[in-house]
Amino acid sequence: MDARRLAAEDYRDWKGWSEVRDPDPLVAEGYALDLARAGVEPGARLLELGFGGGGFLRWAREQGYAVAGFELDDELARRAQEAGFEATSGDLDALRAGWERGGFDAVVAFDVLEHLEPDPLVETLGALRELLRPGGVIVARVPNGGSPFGRYYQHGDVTHKTALTSSLCEQLGRLAGLELVRFDNAARPWRRGRRRLLRLLSYGSRTLIERAVGYLYFHERLPLDPNAVVVWRACGSSG
């Protein structure tokens, strides 16, 4: 039995991607924080790799971004198109052919890259680099492979293949012509929903633990949240 193949075939239903809908308010706050930290402001032209249920597409459009999406799943792309989004699907060749080189200010990939092994990762990052303007960025959220708490997400999906760490992301970026700008904890949203004070207290406690553990073992602060955000910058010309 090929468990990964069977899981991939069932993935849309397992994730509950039955329609394009708005994201949870806390998730949306996280999008805003992560893009702001990467310097990607409303008005920028964005491509989302692996848009899944389309929550980010809807949010980004409402915030004033010019947004497009790419998926492996033809059905998800069809639904996004019906919802009025510029979306397509296919393999890396289709990704390269779908848009002009240098046409995007940023590419976002939330919970996508961990599904790839190193060789396809480098190929994918290289293809995305071609679509970025010089100085454009890739913003990716991944399970934090450098944290024991990242195991909860990394090993929570049979289709996950690569645990990404800061040093690995730097190496992968170099191979793809990208500069690693940031590898840090994913956004810590707290302004929306209930239990705001508890969230702030928990985030403060995490920061103290990170500093203590990092300096005890590695003489530097280490991001230890379950999810990390990676930012790469395109080096040189896209052509």
Domain total for the chain? 1
Beta strands per DSSP E along the chain: 45-49, 66-71, 86-89, 104-110, 132-143, 178-185, 227-234
pLDDT tens track for 164-196: 999 999 999 999 999 999 999 999 997 766 778
* Residue range 96-107: mean pLDDT, rounded: 94
Q: Which residues pair with 109 in a beta bridge?
A: 140
* pLDDT value at residue 78: 94
- In-domain check, residue 217: no
Torsion angle, alpha carbons of 90, 126, 157, 191, to 10: -100
- In-domain check, residue 212: no
* CATH at 16: 3.40.50.150
pLDDT tens track for 55-86: 999 999 999 999 999 999 999 999 999 999 99
pTM (global) more than 0.85: yes
Residue 104: burial class (beta carbons within 10 Å; 0-12, 13-18, 19+) = buried
Q: In sequence order, what DSSP letters do the residues of 61-85 get, joined into one string?
A: HHTT-EEEEEES-HHHHHHHHHTT-
Q: Token pair of 125, please?
A: 């990052």
Please identify which residue in the block is written with the tokens 């395109």: 234
Q: How confident is the model at residue 21 (pLDDT cuts 50, 70, 90)?
A: confident
- In-domain check, residue 221: no
- In-domain check, residue 156: yes
Phi and psi of 48, rounded to 5°?
Answer: -100, 125
Residue 204 has pLDDT above 60, yes or no: yes
Yes or no: say if 35 and 105 are a contact pair by the CB < 8 Å rule.
no
- In-domain check, residue 216: no
- In-domain check, residue 204: no
The domain in which residue 184 lies consists of: 3-195+226-234
* Residue range 16-32: mean pLDDT, rounded: 86
